[in-house]
């Protein structure tokens, strides 16, 4: 019975629920308590001067982050979505300017572009790394292209050298959504620091978190200044008549509070250890799954380290003759936690296909400022579409602890499903 698939009534390979990852410890409690006792939970002032930059905890966290990431400026915000919006505003885009990005990311990457009435243009992704394809980016450049927004999806850097070359050749800014890749390295440098502006999410699901929060990183003084202005109701400071200085200074409140900053500070100190533990889990999975036929384990590009926010797998569904859904259902029945099938296809979302963002009439795509005709929908990104609908599945490696003995059982579960692949192919289960 032990070898009968759980989905067909056999005993599951894993018989206990795995432990959810819990990163909050006594150090975080102490840090948060210290701030609460101080009575100062936020300390920004909306006028020029030091107070404009936030309170003591925020500034200490920023200093620590700038030091860790090796950048001139780290700027804390209340979420990474806020960070993305601020980044798009800071580079000074005009309505109708195009920013090339990837369909394999969270919606916030692309909607951040829309917030300043920029137009997201989707480039296809690389079959091995799931990151934006530089060749596809270059084909999509028009006179209206202003920037490229790469994403280090799942915890591995996009091909930043190639993207930088393209951006330099065409006079474009390079932004990077590195939300999933804190601590990942690209030819020795930390992810996020290779773009003009990069940054990280500190939401509950990520490697490190403070509930909600984000951190922007840049080496550019002017961009840093503009990011800080956008974070804190810029109008309080910019009394300027200069249209370039005023552009996109719309008075947001993207401020991080003192409690979050104090917690984020402790969490940042734990990042390297957390990353190492995910890498260890992934390596153990690689060892166990590598020999399974028709299954491709994560490809780590030359010069890169991967921090495995997601452990991404690809199936050769033709060779196996079994659908991804069926295999994942069988694995779930065996007790494998944290699985997902497919990932994203932003260019297929109704928001984009029907161009419904601001109101119902197609703005900003149909405004006179938007001079290219941009369409979204099937066929635009064939690699992403194929992966999403047919062959990709992943494991959320930040969701559970995944101790070595857990991984051993997960590998057993995979091997069991693979050794029953013929039965699974012919069954009606799932």
Among 125, 179, 397, 411, binds ligand PLP (CB under 6 A): 179
Least spacing, CB of residue 275 vs ligand PLP, in Å: 15
Q: How many residues bind ligand PLP (CB under 6 A)?
A: 14
Scan for tokens 């480039």, then name that residue: 123
Among 31, 90, 93, 106, binds ligand PLP (CB under 6 A): 106
Distance CA 260, CA 194 (A): 26
Choose between 151 and 348: whose C-beta lies nearer to ligand PLP. Answer: 151
Q: Does 180 bind ligand PLP (CB under 6 A)?
A: yes
Q: Does 102 bind ligand PLP (CB under 6 A)?
A: no
Q: Does 156 bind ligand PLP (CB under 6 A)?
A: no
First-residue to last-residue Cα distance in the chain: 20
Choose between 96 and 214: whose C-beta lies nearer to ligand PLP. Answer: 214
What are the residues whose beta carbons fall under 8 Å from the beta carbon of 362, sequence distance 6 or more? Answer: 355, 356
Q: Does 413 bind ligand PLP (CB under 6 A)?
A: no
Among 14, 57, 79, 420, binds ligand PLP (CB under 6 A): 79
Choose between 81 and 329: whose C-beta lies nearer to ligand PLP. Answer: 81
Among 32, 99, 108, 348, binds ligand PLP (CB under 6 A): 108
Among 81, 193, 267, 396, binds ligand PLP (CB under 6 A): 81
Choose between 80 and 186: whose C-beta lies nearer to ligand PLP. Answer: 80
Inter-residue contact 320 to 421 (CB < 8 Å): yes
Least spacing, CB of residue 203 vs ligand PLP, in Å: 4
Distance of alpha carbon 318 from its chain centroid, rounded? 30
Least spacing, CB of residue 325 vs ligand PLP, in Å: 24
Least spacing, CB of residue 205 vs ligand PLP, in Å: 7
CA distances from 188 to 99, 154, 192, 269, 387 (A): 27, 19, 12, 19, 30
With CB under 6 A as the contact rule, which of the stretches 77-85, 122-130, 395-403, 412-420 interacts with ligand PLP? 77-85
Q: Does 35 bind ligand PLP (CB under 6 A)?
A: no
Among 105, 117, 218, 265, binds ligand PLP (CB under 6 A): 105
Q: Does 218 bind ligand PLP (CB under 6 A)?
A: no
Residues binding ligand PLP (CB under 6 A): 79-81, 105-106, 108-109, 151, 177, 179-180, 201, 203, 214
């Amino acid at each position: 019975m032990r070898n009968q698939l759980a989905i067909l009534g056999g005993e599951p390979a894993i018989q206990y629920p795995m432990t959810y990852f819990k990163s909050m410890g006594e150090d975080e409690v102490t840090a948060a308590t210290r701030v609460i006792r101080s009575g100062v939970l936020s300390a920004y002032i909306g006028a020029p001067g030091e107070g404009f930059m936030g309170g003591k905890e925020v500034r200490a966290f920023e200093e620590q982050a700038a030091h860790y990431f090796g950048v001139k400026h780290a700027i804390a915000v209340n979420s990474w979505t806020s960070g993305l919006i601020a980044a798009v505003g800071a580079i000074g885009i005009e309505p109708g300017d195009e920013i090339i990005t990837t369909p394999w990311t969270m919606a916030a990457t692309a909607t951040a572009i829309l917030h300043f009435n920029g137009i997201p243009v989707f480039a296809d992704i690389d079959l091995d790394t799931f990151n934006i394809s530089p060749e596809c980016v270059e084909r999509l450049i028009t006179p209206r292209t202003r920037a490229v927004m790469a994403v280090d999806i799942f915890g591995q850097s996009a091909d930043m050298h190639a993207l930088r070359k393209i951006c330099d050749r065409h006079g474009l800014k390079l932004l990077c959504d590195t939300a999933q890749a804190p601590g990942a390295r690209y030819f020795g440098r930390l992810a996020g620091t290779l773009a003009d502006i990069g940054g990280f999410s500190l939401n509950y699901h990520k490697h490190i978190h403070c509930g909600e929060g984000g951190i922007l990183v840049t080496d550019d003084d002017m961009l840093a200044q503009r990011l800080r202005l956008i974070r804190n109701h810029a109008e309080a400071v910019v009394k300027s008549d200069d249209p370039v200085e005023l552009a996109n200074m719309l008075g947001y409140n993207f401020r991080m509070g003192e409690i979050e900053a104090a917690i984020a500070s402790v969490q940042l100190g734990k990042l390297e250890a957390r990353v190492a533990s995910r890498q260890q889990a992934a390596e153990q999975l690689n060892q166990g799954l590598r020999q399974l036929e028709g299954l491709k384990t994560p490809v780590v590009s030359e010069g890169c380290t991967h921090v495995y926010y997601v452990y991404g797998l690809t199936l050769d569904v033709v060779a196996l003759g079994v659908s991804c859904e069926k295999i994942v259902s069988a694995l779930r029945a065996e007790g494998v936690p944290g699985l997902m099938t497919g990932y994203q296809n932003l260019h297929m979302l109704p928001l984009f296909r029907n161009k419904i963002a601001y109101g119902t009439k197609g703005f900003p795509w149909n405004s006179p400022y938007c001079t290219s005709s941009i369409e979204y929908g099937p066929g635009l990104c064939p690699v992403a579409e194929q992966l999403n609908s047919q062959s990709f599945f992943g494991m959320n490696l930040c969701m559970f602890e995944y101790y070595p003995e857990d991984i051993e059982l997960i590998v057993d579960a995979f091997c069991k499903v693979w050794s029953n692949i013929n039965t699974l192919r012919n069954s009606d289960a799932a």
